[in-house]
Amino acid sequence: MQSKTVPVVKDPILIALVPESRQVVPGIVNRVYIACATPDGAALKNAGLVVSTDQGGAPASLKTDSMGLATYEFTPKAGNVTITARATSVDGHSAASTLGLSATPGRDGILLRTDKTLAKVGEALNLAAVSSVKSGTIYVDVIRNKQTILTRAEPERNGGVDVRIPLTNDMVGTLEIHAYKIMPNEQIVRDTKTVVVSPASDLVISVSTDRQQYRPGQDAMLRFAVRDQANQPVAAAIGLAVVDESVFALSELQPGLEKIYFTLERELMEPKYEIHGLKPSDLVLRRPSPEMTEQQRQLAGSILLASAPATTGFDFRSNTYLTRWSAMREKVYAVMAQAQQKILGASQKYQQDTGQPLATEDGLQRLVDR
Position 368 pLDDT exceeds 60: yes
325 belongs to a structural domain: yes
Residues 158 and 192 in one domain: yes
Q: Which of 81, 101, 121 is the last residue of a domain?
A: 101
β-strands 204-209, 222-227: how paired? antiparallel
Q: What's the pTM? A: 0.66
How confident is the model over 207-266, as pLDDT tens digits?
899 988 888 888 989 899 988 777 888 888 787 777 666 555 544 444 444 444 444 555
List the 69-74 sheet strands across, edge first: 14-19, 30-37, 69-74
358 burial level (CB within 10 Å; 0-12, 13-18, 19+): middle
Which segment of 87-96, 238-247, 274-283, 289-298 scores lowest on mean pLDDT? 274-283
Q: Which of 59, 77, 101 is the last residue of a domain?
A: 101
337 belongs to a structural domain: yes
Residues 69 and 140 in one domain: no
Position 58 pLDDT exceeds 50: yes
Residues 163 and 234 in one domain: no
pLDDT of residue 247: 56
CATH code at position 20? 2.60.40.10
Number of domains in the chain: 4
313 belongs to a structural domain: no
Cα 178 from Cα 169, distance rounded (Å): 20
Q: Say which amino acid occupies 299.
A: L
Position 161 pLDDT exceeds 90: yes
307 belongs to a structural domain: no
Position 43 pLDDT exceeds 80: yes
- Start-to-end Cα distance in the chain: 108
Residues 240 and 180 in one domain: no
164 belongs to a structural domain: yes
Give 324's pLDDT tier (boundaries 50, 70, 90).
Answer: confident
Residues 129 and 87 in one domain: no
131: how many CB neighbours lie within 10 A of its CB? 24
Q: What is the chain's mean pLDDT, rounded?
A: 80
DSSP string, 287-356: -S-TT--HHHHHHHHHHHHTTPPPP-TT-----HHHHHHHHHHHHHHHHHHHHHHHHHHHHHHHHHHHSS
Position 273 pLDDT exceeds 60: no
Residues 221 and 160 in one domain: no
> Which domain does 70 fall in, by range?
14-101
Average confidence (pLDDT) over 132-146: 89
Q: Which of 50, 66, 101 is the last residue of a domain?
A: 101
220 belongs to a structural domain: yes
Average confidence (pLDDT) over 187-199: 87
